[in-house]
Amino acid sequence: MRKAVLIGNPSVGKSLIFNQLTGLGVEVSNYPGTTVGLMSGIVKYGGAEFTISDLPGIYSISGKSEEERLVREYLVTDDSVLIVVVLDAKHLERNLYLLLQVAEFRKPLVIVLNMMDDARSAGKIIDGAALSAKFGVPVIETIATEGKNLEKIAEYVLGDDLPIPKIVPRYDHHIEAAAKSLQKYHNLSEAESLFALENVSLSTLSPEVMENAAVVSAEIEKRHMMSPEQIIGANRHNTAKSIAEEVTSIAPQKKRRDFDSLLTRSFPGIPILILTMIGILLVVFIVGGFLEDTIVGLMTTYISEPFHALGLDPLIDTVGGAVILALMSGLGIAFPYVFLFYIFISILEDTGYLTRAAFLADRGMHHIGLHGQGLIPLVLSFGCSVPAIMSTRFLPTRRERIIASVLVTMLPCSARTVVISGIVASFVGFGAAFSIYGIIFILVFVLGCILSKVTPGEQYGMILEMAQLRKPIPKYVFRKAWMRVREFLYIAMPLLLASSVVLGLLEHYGFVAMFESFIDPISNAVLGLPGFAFTSLLFGILRKEMAFETLAIMGGTADLGAILTGAQLYIFALVCVLFVPCISTIAVLMKEIGAKNAGLITLFTLTLGISVGAIFHGIFMIL
Amino acid sequence: MTFELSEDILEAILNTGKETVRVSSLEDLASGDKDGFGKAVTCLKDNGYLKESADGVSLTDKGTTKAAQIARKHAVLASFLTEVLGNEPDTASKEACLMEHTVSTETIDKLDTFLEERNPAEPDVRHNHHHWRRNPAQNPREHDSDHHYAGYHRHDPARDPGEHEVGHARLTKRNPIVPLSECSEGSLLHVAMIKCFSKNSRLIDLGVIPGELITLRRKLDNNAVVITVKGCDIALSPEVTENILVERCNPQ
């Protein structure tokens, strides 16, 4: 089966093309050994089929980021792929830079000129035929939002005419000479010799080649007062510029309103940003909470209760009940929170507002070692940690992804808010409930400051392209949200099921009771909590609210004030909120930042929750 | 006549430093010939150098490049006339205005090199921070020349920008090289160089390279900025902004 890959700058409509070609049958997998997501799907066209992968959006393939390295390796090592380069016709010149780089691999390639409609309304008419002649490969002009001409991509991939690009950018003659001699002595391809000169590592380049290239590079740098990397970059940009000028003709522009004068100024930009974030949070909080109650309520009435009423063998009853509980927890997060949040996030993303928000938030995020893009996970985390952690993949560096993930797991999600309001606000008082929020915010801030100092990896400034402001298309917004839900269920369900069944069995065979009597003295000494309260905290890892529900069940009364003192309830809520994220969160953490880091975060929050609880127990004792 | 007037109009708009300029404010250039002026403006719009909006006219990317080329010719010629021939600055500027329309880019480049060689800065200073000129690579016609980069030097980023005035006696007296963070919103700038390059290599990918023309779209009070480069808006953190050194395009 033929194999094609989509390559292009971020937000050129690559994913849209991918989605339209593949439909919903898409697999999300990781590149081996990394957390960079690779979307692959099968395209059926005219009785034949081929696989297509959507490589991450990049501006260049010679950079140091994980994404760039992956695309580079992919192109060097995989000989069978057909390259589909997607260009934004409106920003042709900038997009040609990447195309020129990719063309140097001398592999079958087709150019997709997307957003032809946008380019036209911006007053640019691109001559596709001229561009095709320049590169010696076919050019397909598309409007992905309308699905226009996308079938031609499939026709090309399945067809027999697969020309190799012939364009050669003109490089500075020292660079050309150096590249030629590297090619000759080390038997390298054009692209490889340039990578070597740019000091870009590649699995096919031996240390010896890199060393030789470094010597030549140093000489060139001395002569030009400029590194080969910069010279090669400037040469490519010049080639891109002259090609763009040759194939573009100017037409009258359509007027468009400049919303950026509102959105990117401190005023009214920041108030708009705050209102947007609070608005989203409130809607998700209220609607999400309602949906979750409905889903859990319906499942309890129509599945759980009838199942228990069957009066099956106690063991089967326990396992079945645990499975139902896991399904309830998973679905209770998936639809109300993941789906709803991703609808909003897709809207923010597709409208282009997300990049403006990141620009404005950049300053505040700096204190905690993050950049503007870090705002999204942090805001999301107030609703649900799961989509918040899933959204950390928008962050440019691994360092930021780790910092954001740690902070996200600590911020109170809506389930934890239920615990705080259900226990502390109801039985202790509003002031006490707010003080828990205060404690968490202080901890998050302090931790952010510490993490920004100790997390490995360099801190880069934000360099972020502002996406074009445009109207989102509902169909794709829903499709994106649905993909996230599927992804979440796929990664979280197995863990949820397993842990729920294990907990159920432990309870069934009396281990929970044993644990309770074992932990009772320790729990009493450290936290001042009776054993049953600590045990119910364990159930919180399935769903945070379950700690609260279990406490009521184990205490035998819904009037918690009657069985525990105010101080005990306060400590219970504090520990519950801080310690160990729920299983779904852990599953997503494992997916995004690796099992080791997920384990460390879990261990850290466990320690933190218990220590903070112990400190407060100490304070209450003294008082 | 229309041709020279057109170039003057582009240059005048660039020199205002504003994005949009009212047509009426440019009518001084017409020197009485209102018909010719109208024709010139129409011609510029038809060729994609200018765009008209409700608030007036503004330069397109193409127009900005053209205007910057003319402004550079003007600056080099004026320097030559004052420094080599010893003309009065006022007369020199007026004559530069006349010559800038006919002189070729090659001549300007050679003249610029001549001025540079004739008037080097004090040796010890020069050794460390070289004279900076606009990247000749900006001009496609020069693309093939061997000394593509020879005329383009880096200067020592560690030095205070103010010091460059010694080494950039001519162009930089008007246009000192400053960090992007010190420029004001709406200004049109040439990228002079990028400090801490290896940390900011993403800038190259986006086309922020020495010699590139950029517009400072937005600047927040913490020096976070949005710039327009190659028609795309790019947001930059303050720590990136201070590493980009630029030259103002509108000599005051």
Please, which residues have CB within 8 angstroms of residue A227's CB and are 6 or more apart in sequence? A217, A221, B197
Chain B residues with CB inside 8 Å of A229's CB?
Answer: 201, 204
Report residue A129 as tokens: 């035929």
- The pTM for the full model equals 0.70
Chain A residues with CB inside 8 Å of B236's CB?
Answer: 461-464
Instruction: Give the Cα separation of A546 and A272 in Å (integer).
Output: 36
Instruction: Give the Cα separation of A384 and A262 in Å (integer).
Output: 30
Report residue A390 as tokens: 């899933």
Q: What is the mean pLDDT of residues A293-320?
A: 87
| Predicted local confidence at residue A133, as pLDDT | 93
| Predicted local confidence at residue A608, as pLDDT | 92
| Predicted local confidence at residue A471, as pLDDT | 83
| Predicted local confidence at residue B138, as pLDDT | 38
Distance from CA of A354 to the nearest CA of B (A): 12
The residue type found at A214 is: A
The residue ranges of DSSP E strands in A103-257, in sequence order, are: 109-114, 124-126, 139-141, 248-250
| Predicted local confidence at residue A236, as pLDDT | 92
The chain A residue lying nearest B131, using CA atoms, is A225
User: Comparing C-alpha atoms, which of A272, A237, A468 is closest to residue A351?
Assistant: A468
Distance from CA of A207 to the nearest CA of B (A): 21
| Predicted local confidence at residue A180, as pLDDT | 92
Mean pLDDT, chain A, integer:
85
* Residue B29 pLDDT > 70: yes
SS3 per residue for chain B: CHHHHHHHHHHHHHHHCCCEECHHHHHHHHCCCHHHHHHHHHHHHHCCCEEEECCEEEECHHHHHHHHHHHHHHHHHHHHHHHHCCCCHHHHHHHHHHHCCCCCHHHHHHHHHHHHHHCCCCHHHHHHCCCCCCCHHHCHHHCCCCCCCCCCCCCCCCCCHHHHHHHCCCHHHHCCEEEHHHCCCCCEEEEEEECCHHHHCHHHHCCCCCCCEEEEEEECCCCCEEEEECCEEEEECHHHHCCEEEEECCCC
Please, which residues have CB within 8 angstroms of residue A442's CB and are 6 or more apart in sequence? none
Instruction: Give the Cα separation of A88 and A128 in Å (integer).
Output: 13
The reply to whether residue A226 touches residue B60, judged by beta carbons under 8 angstroms, is: no
Region for B24 from its dihedrals, namely left if φ exceeds 0, alpha if ψ lies in -120 to 50, beta otherwise? alpha
| Predicted local confidence at residue A26, as pLDDT | 60
Q: Point out the residue among B144, B206, B237 whose CB comes nearest to the CB of A94.
A: B206
Q: Is the peptide bond before A252 cis (omega within 30 degrees of 0)?
A: no
- Kind plus residue range of the DSSP H or E element containing A621: helix A595-622
The chain A residue lying nearest B156, using CA atoms, is A225
How far, in Å, are A65, A403, A435, B165 from residue A56 at the CA level? 11, 22, 43, 45
Q: Point out the residue among B148, B209, B224 whose CB comes nearest to the CB of A237.
A: B209
The residue type found at B18 is: K
The reply to whether residue B232 touches residue A465, judged by beta carbons under 8 angstroms, is: yes
Could you give the domains of chain A?
Answer: 2-158 (3.40.50.300), 173-250 (no CATH)
Report residue B58 as tokens: 């503004």
β-pairing, A109-114 vs A139-141, is parallel
Please, which residues have CB within 8 angstroms of residue A163's CB and are 6 or more apart in sequence? A108, A136, A137, A138
Half-sphere exposure of B150 (CA within 13 A, CB side): 13
Distance from CA of A359 to the nearest CA of B (A): 6
The chain B residue lying nearest A173, using CA atoms, is B146
Instruction: Give the Cα separation of A150 and A146 in Å (integer).
Output: 9
The reply to whether residue A466 touches residue B226, judged by beta carbons under 8 angstroms, is: yes
Residue B48 near chain A (CB below 8 Å):
yes
The reply to whether residue A234 touches residue B222, judged by beta carbons under 8 angstroms, is: no
Instruction: Give the Cα separation of B117 and A242 in Å (integer).
Output: 31
Residue B207 near chain A (CB below 8 Å):
yes
Range 18-37 of B in CB contact (< 8 A) with A: none
The reply to whether residue B200 touches residue A242, judged by beta carbons under 8 angstroms, is: no
Write the pLDDT tens digit of every residue in A409-426: 988 887 888 788 888 888
Please, which residues have CB within 8 angstroms of residue A559's CB and are 6 or more apart in sequence? none
Mean pLDDT, chain B, integer:
72
- Residue showing tokens 């615990």: A419
Top CATH class, B173-248: mainly beta
How far, in Å, are A32, A248, B90, B217 from residue B86 at the CA level? 70, 45, 12, 39
* Residue A31 pLDDT > 60: no
Instruction: Give the Cα separation of A28 and A40 in Å (integer).
Output: 7
Write the pLDDT tens digit of every residue in A222-247: 887 778 888 899 899 999 999 999 99
8 Å CB contact between A370 and A448? yes
| Predicted local confidence at residue A458, as pLDDT | 66
Q: What is the mean pLDDT of residues B221-250?
A: 86
| Predicted local confidence at residue A36, as pLDDT | 58
Write the pLDDT tens digit of every residue in B151-164: 333 333 333 333 33
* Residue B166 pLDDT > 50: no
**Mapping DSSP to helix (H, G, I), strand (E, B) and coil, where does residue A172 land?**
coil
Residue B46 near chain A (CB below 8 Å):
no
* Range with top average pLDDT, A148-157, A256-265, B7-16: A148-157
Write the pLDDT tens digit of every residue in B113-152: 777 766 554 333 333 333 333 343 333 333 333 333 333 3
Write the pLDDT tens digit of every residue in A35-73: 556 778 888 888 888 989 888 888 898 887 777 888 888
Q: Residue A44: beta bridge partners? A: A49
**ipTM exceeding cut-off 0.95 for this assembly:** no
The residue type found at A268 is: P
* Residue A255 pLDDT > 80: no
8 Å CB contact between A110 and A137? yes
Distance from CA of A363 to the nearest CA of B (A): 7
- Best of A101, A265, A464, A468 to substitute, by most chain B Cβ atoms within 10 angstroms, is A464
| Predicted local confidence at residue B141, as pLDDT | 36
